[in-house]
Structure 1
């Protein structure tokens, strides 16, 4: 039985969550449709464009994403500090970029006087919007619903576009985050849609590589902290160079079956994350099958379950894959 999303989110344990949505009706609603002979790749562009728009509105960062032919992967980081630091006016301005709001919220944003009787209503509304703007469920709702309506309009039909609720799993430590990011970024190579990460359209890895060539990082994606000590816990706790090298080398192995030795940079990163090199390929190619729930060490999973009031540590057997 599906569990309420609130029983899967624990900011106290981790701000990082891997979300996945799949399409329904036929196998390829975003790519080549062999039944009709049409190509729907432009819909992948719809998803990427809206994803980047929502990242700028919500207090939620995008760490990685891959828009595939029949499903979407995205790794999100909940930025609760940004949401709490927004002024009341800023909260409403962010919300009004997505929804119309009402006369009261628009008058407040314009600086007009609010009647004393309306203050409590306004405060409750702002608190609700502030909470929603750092809520993964609302983020995915604002991503999936417009895409579904747009696709149905193009197909001149009604009904579901996405296959039920999106799936989400907590990434409880840095090892889980690194493994899941690589898994997401290597999706097109595993699916044999391309041979190299830089050719992977509609993915975060392609955006990062293009920006790295210019000595930059994409403004729309959560940045890497670099080799220095990570003093900003909002950044990804890895070096961008090391991560790109690791993904490129792993992609080469998956694409061409060349099981050569990893470079020193990649080996050092895996050692730092306590991941045996021999286990890395299995983790990045079978992540979706190996991990059915929260991902992390048994200790992290225990804390996660305690904070959510869970009596049982479901999926605890998955922990062995990161420890082996």
Structure 2
């Protein structure tokens, strides 16, 4: 357990410096990351391989746009990575980056009002440094707060999403090892169920194998949040399965759990063919990539809450719909 606590301390020290007002962002990134640092972020940032680039291309513009920035963290945990035989150690942070939207960001107009950007980060910690980061953030969520609707036919609810109902997601202290094992086991069972789109169970009964009946699914803007198994099946899962075919096997960069919390990140997690209408847009019959982070809270032997980050801007750009280009061309009013 000591290695997990040490890794958490690395990330907490990084955040303490990164989030301080007036900090030298380049210096902080260089100090806390490895020489061969790999940073993966949602479109349009994608892969960056230099800490200075991460500071200059992502953090500086974000801090200039969202002034008085605060990290409002809801979930924090660490674990060994199942995907490399439990050799690597990763630390996960999820919540909102809150600030005053005082200058445009990526063409998203500012309004001088408080905004909250959903984020989730997976950090691989090695030799006391952050060696790799998956930094996923919901840009359509920020757009909605600025009055821009890129995906008008959302099937679930548009919300500024809360943290866990139990308010116990910040695992700064060590957790019983068996609790993390139980969480990872049900996540793995759920992933196995997801790969069986042609089984004999109804969708609702398939979900009931690993989900609480009153599950909460906190989805990305463009899809939305939904509550209970029947509404999740109606407002997202059933629609997704109807719209896509030729889904590839699921692959993850990291999959881990600690206590009642766990999750995974992929680059991409899977590919699928858009063979039906989805999110108000027509079928293209093209294969698309899904870059996803999922975070889960376990209750008993089932999953109770799920926070999802999907790089919808990357997916739709691959389908011929470039949201940020449309925005900068003045197509949204």
Q: Which TM-score applies when normalising by structure 1?
A: 0.28
Structure with greater strand share of residues: 2
TM-score (norm 2): 0.28
Return the index of the structure with the highest Cα Rg.
1
- Greater RCO, 1 or 2 (C-alpha within 8 Å, sep 6+): 1
More helix by share: 1
